[in-house]
Each structure stands twice: as C-alpha cells, then as structure tokens.
Amino acid sequence: MTCASCAISLESYLGPLDCVSSVSVNYPNQSVAIEYDEEVVSLETLGQKAKEIGYEIFSKTPGKDSETFEELEDRRLATLRSKLIFSAVFSIPVFIIAMFFMGKIPYENWIMLALSTPVLFWSGSEFYVIAWRKLKHLTSNMDTLVALSTGVAFLFSLVNTVYPQYFISRGVEPHVYYESAVIIITLILLGRYLEERAKRKTSSAIKKLMGLKPKEVTVIRNGAEVIISYDDIAKAELIVLKPGDRIPVDGKVRKGDSFVDESMITGEPIPVRKAKGEEVFAGTINQKGTLRILATKVGGETLLAHIIKLVEQAQASKPEIQKLADKIAGIFVPVVVVLALITFFVWYFIGPEPSFTFALVSLITVLIIACPCALGLATPTALMVGIGKGAEQGILIKDAQVLETAYKIDTLILDKTGTITEGKPKVTDLIWDSDVDVSIHQKSLLAIEASSEHPIAEAIVAHLKELNTAVIEVDAFESITGMGVTAQIAGESHHVGNDRFMQSNQIDIPENLLKSAEKLKSEAKTVVFYSCGASVLGIIAIADQ
C-alpha cells in the first residue's frame, strides 16, 4: 500500500463480500485484519479479490513466514533507494537547465526530454501502474494525483518539444515543464523512502520482543540432553536451563534453585528466586543456578507471545481522529481531481492569454500541491512510531484510543518500585556498633556475602570491595530462603539477614542499631543485620536508585 487511500479502497472492496464480518486495514504497518467464515470462503479467495485491485495478501503463519515478510520489506526499501538515487541523478541536471540556463543551451528541450524519460518510466513507473489499476476499478489514491500531475506536465512538454510551432503560430512561447515532473517524482520517492525507513525502525520493536525467544534449546529426551530448535519444543518437554540462558517457554521448575530476571514482565529489576514447583515465563533470564523446567505453555500460548500480539494489535488500532482522517482520505483524491478540472476551465474561459497555458499550469499546480497527503499519513505514522517506541522501552500501550485521551492524565500511579528504579541495588549505609572491631568483622561479612547468590549480597560485596576489604575463608555456609544466611568462620557462628531471622535465632539487637534500622526503613531502604555470636554488631542499608 502506498497511501492512506489504499487502506480505504481495500476495506471498501473486501468489506461488502459475503461471509466477511469485518475488515480493518492499517496503512503504516501494511497489515489487514479480516474476520471471515472459513467454511464458506478461503483466505486464497480473499487474496484473489485483493489482487483484482492491485494488492497481494501474505498470510502470517507463526514462526514460518516472518522471514518472508522481512525479505519483502528489505526488498521494497532497497528498490525505493535505487529508484530515488537514479531519479535524483537525472532530475538535478534537468532542474539546473530549466532554472538557470533556459534559452542558453542548444537543443535544451531535447536534452531535458532525454533525461526526464527514464525518471518517469523507471523511477516513477509504480505511480502510473497503480493509477491505471485504480482507474480500471473506478477508484483512486495518492498515486492517481502523482500520475496525473507529472503525466500531464510531461505530455504537455513533449508536445512543445516535438511540435513547438503550434503555440508559436499563436504568438505564445511554448514552455516545457520537465523539471516539475521529475522533481515531483524525486520528492515523492524521497518522502516514501523516509517513511518506509521509519516503519522499518518501528517494526523493530516487535522484532526485539520476538528476539527474546532463543533459537536453540536443550531438552531431556530418552534420559539424554539434546539440543533442538525453538520451534520443535513440545508441551510437557523437560528443558535444561544453564546460567545466562533465556527461558524459552512458560513452565514450572522441576529441579534446581536459581534467581531469574523477570524485569521484562514485572518491571521488578531485582531477580526472583525460583525453586521446585515455581512458575517461570518465556523471555526471562536464568541468572545463577541450573534449572530443569517442565514446559506448560509453548509458542503462541506463552505470556511473551501475548505481549507481542498486544503490541501488534495496538499498532493496528485506530483512534477516532484517524477514523475521521481515513474518511476524508477516502474522498480526497476525487475531490482534488474535480477542483483541478474546475481550476482549468475557469482559467481557460475567463483567464488572460495564453489562457490554455495558464489553465494547464494551474491544473498541474492543484494536482501537485495535493500530492503528498499528510492528512492520511500523519496520524497513523505518529501512532505506530509512538506505540513502537513504548514497546522498546517496556511500556505496553493497550490501543491507540488511550493515546488520544492521554493528555487528560493528571495523576500517575505506579504499582512496583522496579518500574521507576535502576535495578542496581547499592549499599547506602554501613553502621557498626560502638565497641566493634570493624576491620575484622568487615572481612567476615565480605566472606559470608561472597558465598551467597542473592542480588542484595552482590551489592554488599561490591561495596566492601570498594573499601579494600581483604577476603577470608568460610568454614560452613547455609542459606535460609526469605530470611538470611548462617556461616561458621574460625569457630564462630555468624548470621546475616532480616530482623525476623535475628529474632528466630534469639540474637539480641542493641537499641541504638534498632533505632537506626527503623530510620533507614522509613527512608524505603532494605536493612540487613549482621551478627557474631549472640548479638547484632552492624546493619547494612541497601537502596535501588
């Protein structure tokens, strides 16, 4: 499709067919959503109907045709670039001769004719082919305007080049308008090339989401690990996930213990601990340990597939302002053609001499000015780019209508801290009791936290390393999920964890440290207690910027 009018004509052509309940054509992402009765009419039949008015429908089969779509888009962009460069190379000399050397070069009209012909009949061929197809079905689009304006300008100039005596004998200078025809085609091609590039960049948002699916997956079959393609994963498949692997399906953990980065789904940046029986989702990343998961949802059933579908539907949805623009675009071309003809006849019958020349120039001018239809293009392109950019940043927009009413928003409520934080916890405060030998206990704290896989432990380790703390050996280590860790160092028992963990182990928290901890909690910081023996010796506050 080359303009918003294409979407209207395709909708109006397919919509009235029997067994078709609804048709929604989206020009910017070159898609059509059709609801039809499969028992009565096939997609092939609908494709044949579309072909009658010059369109080819490609059905999108998941995991099968996506490369075909990309190849088509790449080929379209490459062809547009070639035609644009070719057009510019031939058009610029025509423009220079017409603007600066008119009447100064021998056979200039013939030179401009020779340079203009390939521009019109190769670079601009698409405009004339589409306009002719439309005319056969008594419809029109923006290509009709381009073909009319450039075609009339070229033919008028051709007559004045081959047979200038017609106007000379009537005392009129036989002007040529080759530069108008070729420059219009070059500028329209430039606009289309830039528009196509913008659309390719926007569709990359969907491709990035699709890129969250791994190409190959390790599964257990007949008791052995086998590497298979993502498309070959079956339900109830047992999948092996090593540290750093992206999870390919929605499933449940059967074996193992690890932390999983679920930020692309929840917005919560701190990895979540996953153990046997817990759910994992496609597109998230296994961080620390090895997991074996049972696939419960694969392919189009996964949460990630639903997110991709949501973004595609949002890009295809239309707000009220676009529906209005589409209605106007549908009658825009015929109205412009009628106005151009009225202009011609007014200049021809009541304009000054040479009335025919003035009438023709005025006709061409009206057609040219109306060519690049910003009306039908601005709204859908802005919506598509906006929704695509949102998806790139992890912001999913339900449909185009919400963007149209978004200016009314005066309060924004966020349900997760991770939505507005960096996802990199850092130590903000390290407070020791007054009688503590800091150098010794800092070493013990570093040794314990270095043995832990928890994301908060990583923040404490990073902070202590900045303080140039030496590393010592841990004799024994045990992690208690959701509470903390215990460790044995040089025969002494150490505990690191939350206040509930300290209370459950009957460890005393001095009053001064308890007050400091309450103050830090009121500042929305995570507080970790460190003890050696029967008393807490220090507290660590961690915050996510």
Closest CA to 159 of 177, 146, 171, 180: 177
Do 252 and 228 form a contact (C-beta atoms < 8 A)? no
CA distance 438 to 440: 6
d(C-alpha 318, C-alpha 399), whole Å: 8
Per-residue buried b or exposed e for 248-261, using 16+ beta carbons within 10 Å of the residue's own CB: bbbbebeebbbbbb
Strands 526-532 and 272-274, bridge-based pairing: unpaired
415 catalytically annotated: yes
How remote is the C-alpha of 46 from its chain's centroid?
29
Q: Is 412 helix (H, G, I), strand (E, B) or coil?
A: coil
Evaluate whether 124 touches 154 at the Cβ level (below 8 Å). Answer: no
Residue type for position 457: A
Options 415, 429, 435, 499, the catalytic residue: 415
Helices 178-210, 108-118: inter-axial angle, 10-degree rounding: 20
The DSSP code for 120 is: I
CB atoms near residue 102 (< 10 Å): 14
The separation between CA 485 and the C-alpha centre of its own chain, rounded to angstroms, equals 43
Contacts of 488 (CB under 8 A, 6+ apart): 474, 475, 476, 477, 494
Q: Closest by alpha carbon to 393, among 267, 498, 295, 515?
A: 267
Listed in sequence order, the residues at least 6 apart from 33 whose beta carbon sits closer than 8 Å to its beta carbon are 22, 23, 24, 26, 316
Helix, strand or coil, per DSSP, at residue 486 = strand
Cβ pair 502, 388 in contact under 8 A = no
Q: Is 435 helix (H, G, I), strand (E, B) or coil?
A: coil
Sheet holding 484-489, edge to edge: 425-432, 535-544, 526-532, 492-497, 484-489, 476-480
Between CA 435 and CA 191 the distance in angstroms is: 74
Q: Which two tokens stand for residue 64?
A: 């099968």
E strands present in 396-532: 425-432, 476-480, 484-489, 492-497, 526-532
Question: From the CB of residue 284, how many other CB atoms can be counted at a distance below 10 Å?
Answer: 23
Alpha carbons 12 and 134: distance in angstroms, whole number: 13
| Rounded (5°) CA angle 392-395-397 | 110
Active site residues: 415
